[in-house]
Amino acid sequence: MPEKKSDIMDKIADANKSVVTGIDEKDIEHWITISILGRKYQVPAGLTIMQAMEFAGYRFIRSCGCRAGFCGACATVYRLEGDYRLRTAMACQTRVEDGMYLTQIPFTPAEKAKYDITKLTPGIEALLHNYPEILRCLGCNACTKACPQDIDVMEYIAAGKRGDVEKMAEISFDCIQCGLCAIRCPAELAQYNYAQLARRLYGRYGTPKPEHLKNRVKEIGQDKFKDDFDKLLSGNEDELRKMYTSRDIEKA
Amino acid sequence: MAELKFIGGYPEYMRKLIDVVNKTRQQRKDYTPKAMTMQERDEVLKVHPDYAPGGKRVISIGPNKGDTAPNEVADLLEAYPLIEGNEVDVTKPDYSVDLLIIGGGLAGTTAAVWAVDKGVAKDTILLVNKLRHGDANSIMAEGGTQAADRENDSPARHFLDALGGGHFTNKPDVLRALVEDAPLIMDWLCDLGAMIDREDDGGFVEKAGGGTSRRRMHACKDYTGLEELRVIKDEFRNLEIPYLEYYPVIEFLTDGNRVTGAVLYNLETGDYKIVQAEATILATGGFGRLHVRGFPTTNHYGATCDGVVLAYRVGAKLRDTDTVQYHPTGAAYPQQIIGLLLTEKLRSMGAQPVNKNGEAFVFPLEPRDVEAASFIRECYVNEKGVITPTGMRGIWLDTPMIELKNGEGTIEKSFPGMFRMFNRFDLDIRKDPVLVFPTLHYQNGGVETDPWGKTNIDGLWVAGEVSGGVHGKNRLMGNSTLDCLVFGRRSGISVAEYLKSNPKHGKLTLDHLKSYTQMLKDAGVNTTRKAPILLPDYRGKAILARMIDVF
Ligand SMILES: Cc1cc2nc3c(=O)[nH]c(=O)nc-3n(C[C@H](O)[C@H](O)[C@H](O)COP(=O)(O)OP(=O)(O)OC[C@H]3O[C@@H](n4cnc5c(N)ncnc54)[C@H](O)[C@@H]3O)c2cc1C
Ligand code: SF4
Ligand code: SF4
Ligand code: FES
């Protein structure tokens, strides 16, 4: 059977081809020069660091996970020509700039404590017991400057030193555990692991389970919805459709 | 071409179009287009990629012979294995375990933790990952997880919503497990210490999602998957369960009937390892990186359909392979983030889809397929989309409406991830709408299971996005992270139960490849295609043209 075609689908595929099949240099008008691990490449302007590296011929194994700023796999450090500053970025979320020279940090060695969350009490003891080194923080702010999520890392470490688990949890919430703060820390801390502990402590002990959840769990234990399900599972499709279309909808 | 002049991240001509949207915002504030009737839905679905002509074919071999699937999926099912068999020695296992888990997203990691909870010794488990543990679709879930735990809601209602959303094709017993376990999963997440959004009175913040009749979406700001996965992964690490990274499974091993282990491939050094296992849980996630019909995707780098391919080769039955979920709101601008997700929760909180004339043209919370199709129609049939400098078309998602309706500051508070992503490219979603177009999001179908994750193949359990049935032909928002948590847990428990009967390790062979290859030949599948593909390839065309194979 010859395949039927859809003009609309063809048009959509054509509009998307650079992100789907790799970039064709014929389509590019503006170019810049970057250097990857010390070697120069001409790449299209306007790509992310990740896309530019792929354009240059790198096929990622490490340093590429979600491609969307959530997983922290693509930690990158770079400088710009003529600028002394060492900068940090997520390769999938940062546009390449002319004169950028970069390398990636696919893995950060960092100690993680093993603990049983049910046996801890939120506060300074839990943090100090698992991560006594937290007191070594010098307050230099290098971590905060390095954080691609714009988290005030130094501030959450300071909160941790005071045993303020709630503050530490809240400030650190957007952490994607990329490790860039740890790499920059002169006190050799692994900040993001401490923040993970703080968030779990706060989640478990600082925000008690809602009553409505406890009630529902109890009801399920008592098989309260059995009759409803019996009805749903024995209904034929017409009946189910009727029930579906006539169900009331709560205002968003 | 003259250099484009940019104002606030947008070229001048787009800036003018944004003014049109700004002008109509106030009058749209209290207006929402009516939800479509069933007939209207059917009509618009004709331009949905699942229903538009072409793009699919009939699977020619195996347990689902005769079913249809997207060409990109059929291509992988009708492909030859990466290994033939004689180049690897499968008889000497490098790892001999009770439980092998493949893929460490929410489903796989949850399965491991629950297996230990139910008595499986940690040292007898091995979790293998293609990328890092956690580089997964799970970590990207933004919007939330459904659970019917409010008083005016019930699991039965959740069931009905999911059934209608799935066009009444969901597997009922599996769906029941999903909705009835949901509150238990929330309870477990609280025990672990996940930070789920709370109201001032301590109750959960719960929002509506497309197709839900009650507010039951639980979120952790717009980092729901990140929070869920990092907490469960932390627990996994505390339990000291063994795991490997950059070691994808490239083939199962069987004793002729039962799955008895797997072949791992070291992505960096190229050597293989043999795992022998009494039970295997497959949790490899979805297939967004196949770019079905040329669509961009929201999915992570490793979402390449491996699990379905591997399971099919050992005879596992698939379901609902004919539908794919496109999320209505993928980023269409700027170029750097095309296809990335803008969570449905933006619409739950008031962001309106608007065409280039500044008109609200569709009810914002239709089921995903209907909403996506209506965007495609607006752009390609009604010609009321906005064309970007790279030739993509899109419609506006009017995010400033969120602030207008819920007060200033709402976006930074509720959508820090979204706000940050656009901000990195100089766009301010509090002030300007964002351009969106449907993007490939979710593998609706997959390997069929019973309510405990068991497949028709002995020794093989399946959990998460790689499975099929629970969502039928279309999944509702917030039911997928839930699916991973519920069936990750259930498969872990079920395997623990199974292991109590002291099953013996089976023989390790690749015999199933011989019969699969024979089937391909008999069906006349004449191709050099190989699968699983493991990773997509985005290298520049000019470079690829000059590659040589030296060592
Ligand atoms: C951007 C985005 C937003 C989403 N938002 C929501 C939401 O708000 N609510 C919701 O409910 N759902 C949402 N989803 C869907 C949901 O997150 C996923 O469907 C779900 O998390 C999948 O989990 P999983 O464990 O099955 O697979 P994944 O999380 O993808 O994990 C699978 C793992 O297996 C690995 N793997 C793959 N192949 C192999 C192999 N051959 N060998 C070894 N390992 C392998 C992968 O690398 C990956 O690490 C979203 C999805 C995306 C992409
Ligand atoms: S706090 Fe550290 S690990 Fe977390 S995102 Fe910032 S730099 Fe990365
Ligand atoms: S980099 Fe280290 S020492 Fe400096 S402020 Fe941060 S945690 Fe403290
Ligand atoms: S690849 Fe995940 S943050 Fe960049």
Beta bridge partners of B354: B360, B396
Per-residue pLDDT tens listing for chain B (551 residues): 445 678 888 999 999 999 999 999 999 999 999 999 989 999 999 999 999 999 999 999 999 999 999 999 999 999 999 998 888 999 999 999 999 999 999 999 999 999 999 999 999 999 999 999 999 999 999 989 999 999 999 999 999 999 999 999 999 999 999 999 999 999 999 999 999 999 999 999 999 988 899 999 999 999 999 999 999 999 999 999 999 999 999 999 999 999 999 999 999 999 999 999 999 999 999 999 999 999 999 999 999 999 999 999 999 999 999 999 999 999 999 988 999 999 998 999 999 999 999 999 999 988 888 999 999 999 999 999 999 988 889 999 999 999 999 999 999 999 999 999 999 999 999 999 999 999 999 999 999 999 999 999 999 999 999 999 999 999 999 999 999 999 999 999 999 999 999 999 999 999 999 999 999 999 999 999 999 999 999 998 888 899 998 87
Rg of chain B in Å (alpha carbons): 23
**Which of B393, B423, B538 to substitute to test the interface with A, most A CBs within 10 Å?**
B538
Average model confidence (pLDDT) across chain A = 95
If pLDDT is split at 50, 70 and 90, which confidence band does A2 have?
very low
A177 contacts B190? CB cut-off 8 A: no
Q: A71: how many CB neighbours lie within 10 A of its CB?
A: 28
Cα A238 from chain centroid (whole Å): 44
Sheet containing B145-146, strands listed edge to edge, beginning at the edge strand earlier in sequence:
B145-146, B217-218, B206-207
Quote the pLDDT of residue B4. Answer: 64
Å between A77 CA and nearest CA of chain B = 16
Ligand 1 site residues (CB inside 6 A) read B 102-108, 128-131, 135-138, 140-145, 224-225, 248-249, 283-286, 298-299, 302-303, 306-307, 341, 442, 464-466, 477-482, 484, 532
Ligand nearest to C-alpha A73: 4
CA B254 to chain centre: 28
Q: Give the mutation candidate from B60, B395, B543 for the A interface (greatest A CB count, under 10 A).
A: B543
pLDDT, one tens digit per residue, over A14-61 is 999 888 988 888 878 889 999 999 999 999 988 999 999 999 999 999
Tell me, what's the pLDDT at B539?
93
Instruction: Give the HSE-up count for residue B480: Cα atoms under 13 Å, Cβ half-sphere.
Output: 30
- In chain B, DSSP finds a helix count (H) and a strand count (E) of 16, 24
DSSP-derived letter for residue B46 is G
CB–CB of A216 and B183 under 8 A? Answer: yes
Terminal Cα distance for chain B, rounded: 43
Sheet with B446-448, side-by-side order of all strands:
B318-319, B446-448, B467-468
Mean pLDDT for A199-211 is 97
The predicted structure's pLDDT at residue A46? 85
Per-residue buried b or exposed e for B263-289, using 16+ beta carbons within 10 Å of the residue's own CB: bbbebeeeebbbbbbbbbbbbbbbbbb
Beta bridge partners of B70: B56
Do the chains contact at A228 and B156, CB–CB below 8 Å?
A: yes
Q: Which domains does chain A have, with CATH numbers?
A: 5-104 (3.10.20.30), 117-206 (1.10.1060.10), 221-245 (no CATH)
Q: In whole angstroms, give the CA distance from residue B480 to residue B162.
A: 11
Cβ proximity of B189 and B114 under 8 Å = no
B182 three-class SS = helix
The larger pLDDT score, comparing residue A252 to residue B69, is at: B69
d(CA B534, CA B291) in angstroms, rounded, equals 14
Residue B508 near residue B91 (C-beta atoms within 8 A): yes
DSSP letters of B79-144?
A: SEES--STTS-TTS-SEEEEEEEE--SHHHHHHHHHHHHTT--GGGEEEE-SSSTT-SSGGG--S-
Q: Which two tokens stand for residue B208?
A: 């509506």
Give yes or no for residue A102 CB within 6 A of ligand 3.
no
Domains of chain B with bracketed CATH: 13-47+325-441 (3.90.700.10), 95-229+255-267+283-321+443-499 (3.50.50.60)
Q: Are A103 and A127 in contact (CB under 8 A)?
A: no
- Over pLDDT 90: what percentage of chain A? 89
**Pick from A23, A203, A247: CB nearest B160:** A247
| Separation of alpha carbons A188 and A183, rounded Å | 8
Q: Which atom of ligand 1 is nearest to the CA of B310?
A: 41
Q: Which residues of B touch A94 (CB under 8 A)?
A: 424
**Closest-approach residue (CA) in chain B for A150:** B420
Task: Identify the nearest ligand to the CA of A192 by its number.
Answer: 2
- Which residue owns the Cα nearest ligand 2 atom 1? A175
Measured between alpha carbons, how far is residue B160 from residues A247, B170, B197 in Å? 9, 10, 25
Which ligand 3 atom is the nearest neighbour of the CA of A153? 6
Interface confidence, given as ipTM, is 0.97
CA distance B511 to chain A (A): 30
Check the CA dihedral B521-B68-B130-B181 and report its sign.
Answer: negative
Contact between chains at B541 and A22 (C-beta distance less than 8 A): yes
Q: Are B258 and B511 in contact (CB under 8 A)?
A: no
Indicate yes or no: CB of A13 within 8 angstroms of CB of B293: yes
Residues of B with catalytic roles:
327, 347
pTM above 0.95, yes or no: yes
Question: For residue B250, which atom of ligand 1 is closest to its CA?
Answer: 41
Residues of chain B neighbouring A198 (CB-CB closer than 8 A): none
Q: Would the CB atoms of B186 and A213 count as touching at under 8 Å?
A: yes
Distance A146 CA to ligand 2 centre (A): 8
CB contacts of A118 in chain B (<8 Å) are 191
Amino acid in the structure at residue B37: T
